[in-house]
Amino acid sequence: MTESPAPGPGDAPLDEDYRLAAVDLLGAIAYGELSAWERLAADAAMAPTIEDKMAIGAMASAEFAHLERLRDRLVQLGADPAEAMGEFMEGFDQFHAHTAPSDWYEGLVKAFVGDGLAADFYREIAAYLDADTREVIIASLEETGQTAFVVEHVRAGIARDHRLAGRLALWGRRLMGEALTQAQRVAAERDALSSLLAGGVDRPGLDLAALGRMFTRLTERHAQRMSELGLDA
């Protein structure tokens, strides 16, 4: 079969299996953005200063703004955005329940490390999508300003109390394990996404060796982020 073009006004619809895979991925990312907004808003309550609360609030607003293009693309693909997102509510909510930060610093590390790992995973899969959907996904994963803020505050906290480094390093490892489990679950439990990764919906997918290399890259990027924070991976 030949590759189906991205649908535009008056265009024929995408191959149905491929459309379902794209809807699944967009729904997962969109609910991730919604839950990130909720989580950051909660983290702002733990912020020690008004300036910090404002900075976290700005990050939360940026996450919510990312939802608009994702929602619009879902509608273009003939999907109900709320239904598409709802398919992933349980998994994301379980992840956040298992990784609820106990303080301000754990919340910062989670925002940086956990969200970064998820973004890396979605960028990897987006490479196998049509150009229009890929563009929307990449735009939704743009930096929201958290990198410099988180790195500055975590490093400053460690400078004041060196014991913090050990605790946050353990926290980062836990986030990595939980996030990889969630990423693998998303890829495995959704038939359309599994087919996409395997090349079964008219797209060149990942073989097992390539899938292994992808998770190696995710692990390496996690280690780089931890190093930026001054933490051991």
Q: What is the pLDDT of residue 65?
A: 84
Please tell me the predicted confidence (pLDDT) of residue 30. 93
Residue range 11-37: average pLDDT?
84
Structure tokens at 148: 């410099």
CATH of the domain at 92: 1.20.1260.10
- What range defines the domain where residue 219 resides? 16-228
Q: What is the mean pLDDT of residues 200-212?
A: 61
What does the pLDDT look like over 8-20, one tens digit per residue?
433 445 688 888 8
- CB-count exposure of residue 200 (10 Å: 0-12, 13-18, 19+): middle
Question: Does residue 105 lie in a domain region?
Answer: yes
Average pLDDT over residues 134-159: 88
How much of the chain is helix, strand and coil, in % rounded to 5? 75, 0, 25
Q: Does the structure show a pLDDT above 80 at 121?
A: yes
Question: How confident is the model over 41-83, as pLDDT tens digits?
Answer: 888 888 999 999 998 888 888 888 888 889 999 999 999 999 9
Residue 76 in domain: yes
Q: Indicate whether 172 pLDDT > 50.
A: yes
pLDDT number for residue 205? 56
Residue 2's pLDDT is 34
**Would you state the pLDDT for residue 8?**
41
Given a cut of 80, whether residue 136 has pLDDT beyond it is yes
CB 195 within 8 A of CB 21: yes
Give the pLDDT score at 34: 92
- Beta carbons of 11 and 5 less than 8 angstroms apart: yes
> 192 versus 25: which is more confidently predicted?
25
pTM: 0.82
Closest CA to 165 of 154, 174, 175: 154
Does any domain span residue 8?
no
Give a yes or no: residue 11 inside a domain: no
Residue 178 lies in a domain: yes
b (16+ CB within 10 A) / e for 104-141: bbbbbbbbbbbbbbbbbbbebbbebbbebbbebbeebb
For residue 7, is it within any domain? no
Does any domain span residue 2? no
Tally of domains within the chain: 1
The percentage of the chain sitting over the pLDDT mark of 90, rounded to a whole number, equals 39
pLDDT tier, 7 (very low <50, low <70, confident <90, very high otherwise): very low
Residue 4 placed within a domain? no
Give pLDDT, residue 119. 87
The residue ranking higher by pLDDT, 62 or 154, is: 154
